[in-house]
Amino acid sequence: MYQMLNEGLIELKVNGEFRKALVRPADTLLFALRERLGLTGAKPGCENGDCGACTVLVDGWPIKSCLMLVAEAVGHEIQTVEGLNGAPIQTAFVDNFAFQCGYCTPGFIMNCQGLINIHPDASDEVMQEWLQSNICRCTSYQEITAAIKSVLVADES
Amino acid sequence: MIPFDFEYYRPESIASAIDTFQQLDTAEKQPMYYGGGTEIISMGRMNNLKTGAVIDLKDIADCKVMEFHQDQLVIGSSVTLTQIHEANLFPLLAQAGARIADHTIQNKITMGGNLCGTIIYKEAVLPLLLSDSLVSIAGPGGKRTIPINSIFKERMQLDKGEFVVQIKIEKQYLSCPYVHVKQTKQDKINYPLVTICAMSVGGGIRAAFSGVCDFPFRSTAMESELNNLALTLEERIDKAIALTPGLIPTNLEGSAEYRKFIMRGLLNSIINRLEGSNVSNA
Ligand SMILES: Cc1cc2nc3c(=O)[nH]c(=O)nc-3n(C[C@H](O)[C@H](O)[C@H](O)COP(=O)(O)OP(=O)(O)OC[C@H]3O[C@@H](n4cnc5c(N)ncnc54)[C@H](O)[C@@H]3O)c2cc1C
Ligand code: FES
Ligand code: FES
């Protein structure tokens, strides 16, 4: 049985690398990524599951890292925006001016990357369903939709 | 950040989970079973919940299944709403789950967590109530499998140390004509003002509700009125609403009168759809 009783070192697989982090069992994945591993791409917004700014991929699926304990992530593949390394969705966000202040951007990009991984041929309806998980205070929604559509369409062709 | 410490355990068998619970309980750690953790983390962060240890059920094989066993669909309590939606083996449950919170959180919320949580809506329970599902439970007293309609009375009535292992749904219900409607105050993603799941079984309509009272429910008394063909449609609906099994609250989401107004409209369209044309799957 995997167990973690006190603050201690755990090993996480993040962006393809094994990294050790000193964490409490009650720490969230968001806290561990930012404060222990220096990966500040995932942003704290509401910390309540509402805004999506903290979204990362766990085993390819978008997860709100504020609602995941770091202990739960042990043994799983975590990908943050730092691990994308200029993926097509990042270029598409730039090309489509899909941000203003940029605070929500890493969360949106990771959610979009999840959709591209899992449903590269997603319909507009499925795409909208997924995008509703993230909030943009600057209301860049149209441009974000255009960015993800350009990648999904590109994948189809 | 969660402002208190707790221990984390992830057992690999039912026996080990129960044993761990009992040991932690004896040590006065107020252990909690842990599904997706969305409620435990969000309430823990606000200090609305306290525990000294969580027992994560996600490594227990029985809690992870989603498969047919003879004439039953078996869904493990750690299966997520997304997994249920993607597999789409029980379309009404898939659709109800796909309207809980948002798509990303559905990757985390588990069947067991939605059923056993303290948040009053528990929308995934509605299809289970309509389909007379069975619930397999394990605890210090052993294992038992009982109808959800006997153990879900406003909430799951579990004994100390018990947890939900699986849900079992008879195949015949998976393809019954159904309607799922969720009306929120404003945004698509929100807690329900009124959610209704309805199913046509053997010519009669079954209906279960969330958001109407402080608990989700299915009422056979309401169903009798809804199916009373001697009355006009309006009378059937009014008599059914009068039998709502609890107080219809007035709160920030809406007044009791507004909720009844919404219920009337939704029930009217649901009955027309289920009794009207040959609805296969709504
Ligand atoms: C942003 C947001 C929006 C939401 N919107 C909705 C909504 O629209 N409709 C709705 O119905 N809900 C909604 N919820 C509530 C959500 O449904 C709950 O947080 C969720 O159902 C809890 O599931 P979980 O698997 O994460 O459970 P956990 O947080 O792990 O556990 C919740 C409770 O259930 C217990 N538990 C977990 N698994 C088991 C088991 N197998 N056996 C016995 N006990 C168990 C735990 O001990 C705990 O008490 C929302 C939540 C959030 C954060
Ligand atoms: S910070 Fe996680 S959803 Fe807002
Ligand atoms: S670009 Fe500012 S919040 Fe989205």
Q: Which pLDDT value is given to residue A62?
A: 98
Cα distance between residue B101 and residue B114, in whole Å: 11
**How far, in Å, CA of B9 to CA of A1, rounded?**
7
CA distance, residue A69 to nearest chain B CA (Å) = 8
In angstroms, the CA B164 to CA A23 distance is 30
pLDDT band at B189 (very low <50, low <70, confident <90, very high): confident
Q: Residue of the nearest CA to atom 53 in ligand 1? A: A49
Distance from CA of A6 to the nearest CA of B (A): 7
Q: State pLDDT tens for residues A28-76.
A: 999 999 999 999 999 999 999 999 999 999 999 999 999 999 999 999 9
B279 confidence band (pLDDT: 50, 70, 90): very low
B147, pLDDT greater than 50: yes
Q: Which residue do the tokens 């903290």 mark?
A: A54
Q: What is the pTM of this model?
A: 0.95
Q: Tens digits of per-residue pLDDT, A112-141? A: 999 999 999 999 999 999 999 999 999 889
- State mean pLDDT over B214-225: 97
Can you give the pLDDT at residue A154? 59
Residues A79 and A82: their CA atoms lie apart, in Å, by: 8
Give the tokens for residue B17: 């989970």
How far apart are alpha carbons A1 and A124 in whole angstroms?
43
How many of the other CB atoms lie within 10 Å of CB of B55? 24
In sequence order, what are the residues at sequence separation of 6 or more whose Cβ sits closer than 8 angstroms to the Cβ of residue B72? B134, B168, B169, B170, B171
Quote the pLDDT of residue A157: 46
Q: Which tens digits make up the pLDDT trace of B62-111?
A: 999 999 999 999 999 999 999 999 999 999 999 999 999 999 999 999 99
pLDDT digits (tens, 9 = 90+) for A74-108: 999 999 999 999 999 999 999 999 999 999 999 99
Average pLDDT taken over every residue of chain B: 95
> What pLDDT is recorded for position B281?
42
Contact B104 A55 (CB under 8 A): yes
Identify the band that residue B236 occupies on the pLDDT scale cut at 50, 70 and 90.
very high
CA distance B25 to B162: 12
Please choose, from the candidates B6, B277, B165, the residue with its C-alpha nearest in 3D space to the C-alpha of residue A28.
Answer: B6
Mean pLDDT of A140-152: 94
Interface confidence, given as ipTM, is: 0.94
The pLDDT of B13-26, averaged and rounded, is: 98
* Confidence category of residue B282, pLDDT binned at 50, 70, 90: very low
**CA pair distance B105, B122, nearest whole angstrom:** 14
pLDDT score, position B186: 80
Cβ atoms of residues B29 and B161 within 8 Å: no
Strands (E), chain B: 7-10, 32-34, 53-56, 66-69, 72-76, 134-139, 142-147, 152-153, 155-156, 163-170, 178-183, 194-201, 204-210, 217-218
Q: Chain A within 8 Å of B59 (Cβ-Cβ)?
A: yes
Phi and psi, residue A106, nearest 5°: -60, -35
Asked if pLDDT for residue B280 goes beyond 60, the answer is no
Give how far Cα B80 sits from Cα of A69, B28, B40, B133, B159, Å: 16, 30, 16, 18, 24
Ligand 1 neighbours (beta carbon < 6 A): A 49-50; B 32-40, 42, 57, 77, 100-101, 105, 108-110, 112-114, 116-117, 119, 121-123, 163-164, 191
pLDDT in tens, B29-75: 999 999 999 999 999 999 999 999 999 999 999 999 999 999 999 99
Write down all domains in chain A, each with its CATH number in brackets.
8-79 (3.10.20.30), 83-156 (1.10.150.120)
Ligand 2 lined by A62 (C-beta under 6 Å) = no
Q: For chain B, which domains are there?
A: 7-56 (3.30.43), 61-173 (3.30.465.10), 178-275 (3.30.390.50)
